[in-house]
Amino acid sequence: MMILVDEALRRREAEGTPVRVAMVGAGFMARGIAHQIAVATPGIQLVAIANRRLDVARCAFDSTGYAKPCAIETASAANAAIAAGRPVVTDDPKLLCEADEVDAIVEVTGSINYAADVACHAIRHGKHVILMNAELDGTIGPLLKRRADAAGVIYSNVDGDQPGVTMNLYRFVRGIGVRPVLCGNIKGLHDPTRNPTTQKGFARKWGQKPHMVTSFADGTKVSFEQAVIANATGMQVADKGMIGPTVPAGTPIVEAAEMFPEDLLLNGDGLVDYVVGAEPAPGVFVLGTTDDGEQRGFLDLYKLGKGPIYCFYTPYHLCHFEVPTTIARAALFHDATIAPAGAPRVEVVATAKIDLDGGDVIDGIGHYTTYGQCRNADEARRDELLPMGLAAGCRLRHSVGQSQILTLGDVEIPPGRLIDSLRAEQDALFAEQ
């Protein structure tokens, strides 16, 4: 993909018409994106950052070499400053969605309700929406994609995050005439009991938030990532959710992939899943098959084995390094890195991390009370399972045991939240699909 993108961006730089990007969020990953755009991506200009704390937004510009940003309070003030070559900061992301001098919004907060409001506003005002937010995408992505299509803009998750890297590989495999049968994620750890206390040291070492790294460890993040892939490809999970085999540390992914039952792979619409312990980590892999005997012979010649299952993999995902590629694909080629193809195929559902009592209020993703796991959308709808993206803030009506999947009937949902109304709209939109 960079074969097209890099030259197209160089032309935009030479013409003096860079793609103008506003970013919402100024945390760990956002700072990396800001630096990558500024120092390594001609043809894209970061013109604005919205963040609750303006001092943090300003700090995100520190390593860019750009002019000192100014604070703005109106969209017209943003337009004037950006047109004059000065970046802006604000605590109101809607101003950036409304600004004519902005082409695309990159949402990097990892939030749900807040990010949903930003995404809807950006689409309404004709901006491409680039999410580094699998949690939002896995909750209401199909609805946001439908709205973006109607508005004539691109809605996409990013290159660099595992869903985007997987989708690139999926498109490559499909493009050479091999039918993808599994999209996989390579993890180093999976322990649903992890919490911010157990992950505090790791978070401190890498300058991240404990709840964020907890969501990586407890399985919630990989569940959202694989749900995003399922919704983009039409794949599903196995009957009881993802299989997630654990192999001895360092097992080559080509060997680890043999843990998935061949019959399960060769029948149906394909699976999303993961393995723990394989190398190269933290890469991604796609298993594929072909009935073409001549092509099988060539795949054997090219060291992919005799089949019928062939393993393709990407040995890394470089997070913020690759985000500018998605921005360029959206703005210059009207191509999404990864976006829902239609109705939801897989849902991430809330599961009790510990024994919980009636009256307990569920905390956020990556905290102490719940973790997310995948279930097929038809099962989640039939059994009225509680989406993980809606769980935070819900109050339990009664006690539930550890490892129990929560249902909508188990909780009282807080009134007045945007995310609930959007989710209801999505459920109604795709009720018959």
CA separation for the pair 2, 332 (Å, rounded): 13
105 C-beta neighbours (distance < 10 Å), count: 27
Q: What is the pLDDT of residue 212?
A: 84
Q: Residue 365: is its pLDDT beyond 70?
A: yes
Do residues 106 and 23 make contact, with C-beta atoms less than 8 angstroms apart?
yes
Q: Residue 3: is its pLDDT beyond 90?
A: no
- Dihedrals φ, ψ of 245, to 5°? -65, 145
CATH topology of domain 346-429: Type Iii Antifreeze Protein Isoform Hplc 12 (3.90.1210)
Q: Residue 293: is its pLDDT beyond 80?
A: yes
Closest CA to 43 of 325, 293, 362: 325
Q: Residue 31: is its pLDDT beyond 70?
A: yes
Confidence of residue 224 (pLDDT cuts 50, 70, 90): very high
Q: Residue 363: is its pLDDT beyond 90?
A: yes
Confidence of residue 2 (pLDDT cuts 50, 70, 90): low
Which of 210-214, 227-231, 374-378 has the least mean pLDDT? Answer: 210-214
The mean pLDDT value for 12-16 works out to 97
Q: What is the pLDDT of residue 270?
A: 97
Q: Identical fold at 2-161+321-333 and 346-429?
A: no
CATH of domain 2-161+321-333: 3.40.50.720
Q: Where are the domains of the chain?
A: 2-161+321-333, 162-316, 346-429
Residues, the chain: 433
Closest CA to 92 of 52, 129, 61: 52
Residue 117 exposed, middle or buried by CB count within 10 Å (0-12, 13-18, 19+): middle
Q: Is 347 left (phi over 0), alpha (psi -120 to 50) or beta?
A: beta
The mean pLDDT value for 6-20 works out to 97
Q: Residue 401: is its pLDDT beyond 60?
A: yes
CA separation for the pair 146, 220 (Å, rounded): 25
Taking only the tens place, the pLDDT of each residue in 47-90 is 999 999 999 999 999 989 999 999 999 999 999 999 999 999 99
Confidence of residue 433 (pLDDT cuts 50, 70, 90): low
Q: What angle do helix axes 220-233 and 162-175 make, rounded to 10 degrees?
A: 30
Q: Residue 1: is its pLDDT beyond 60?
A: no
Which of 94-108, 204-218, 256-270 has the least mean pLDDT? Answer: 204-218
Q: What proportion of the chain, given as a percentage, has pLDDT over 70?
A: 99
Location of structure tokens 């085999």: 245
